[in-house]
Amino acid sequence: MASRRAGEKLILEGKVRVNGRFVLLLGTKVDPERDEVMLDGKIIRARRKLYIALNKPPGCVCSHADELGRPTIYQLLPKEWQIVNSVGRLDFNSEGLIFLTNDGQFALRLTHPRYGVRKKYIATVEGKVEPAMLAEFTRGIFHGGERLKAEKARIMGSSNAKSVVELELAEGKNREVRRMFESQNVSVKKLQRVQIGKIKLGELKLGKWRTLTEAEIKTLLLES
């Protein structure tokens, strides 16, 4: 109904009642399952929490709007579900698994470094990748003043023309996989996120979405 700051203003203006009584004390706690909250005489109900898994296509951004007019992932969702936000991001050219939700606590637990939820990527890069390069990634490298580190890394296929590498990260800093390869002067041709925690992309088709099951949500929260 309002941002936090605007909500505080509504409370101080005497427009909010809980269980029939006006509440003027900021920070008053309510239980949405039991307490009746009213704004200007109308009952306010908590929004249903949504948890979505989407297979993001390349060529779109993870913002609600883009100043350059590029397509967004929200155009792939029903209009009534525009209240969700992406849990972390994938850059414009990357693809794969991304979660969207209107549950802020869920998003925090999956993105904050202290919880260390692991994410798995498959990168197709130019040229032949040697094991020594991946050893550097797992030890940690510095790029742009930040330490970037893969928890695990393995070569899935390699030739003189291209290599396919699987990497597992715990932090997911901005463009972390691409920056790792950039530090070695290696160009990434395709980058796909295939797993977050124990939830795999599976057979979800590019540009399609599904809701997470209760069991999947609990699994993700137990991991974090």
Active-site annotation, residues = 91
E strands within the chain?
A: 16-18, 21-22, 37-39, 42-44, 51-56, 85-87, 95-101, 119-126, 141-143, 146-148, 152-158, 162-169, 188-196, 199-200, 209-211
Interatomic CA distance for residues 93 and 189, integer angstroms: 9
Q: Which residues pair with 163 in a beta bridge?
A: 125, 158
Interatomic CA distance for residues 56 and 93, integer angstroms: 10
Cα end-to-end distance, the chain, whole Å: 30
Interatomic CA distance for residues 108 and 100, integer angstroms: 12
Contact 21, 11 (CB under 8 A): no
E strands within 61-217?
A: 85-87, 95-101, 119-126, 141-143, 146-148, 152-158, 162-169, 188-196, 199-200, 209-211
Q: Report helix, strand or coil for 137.
A: helix
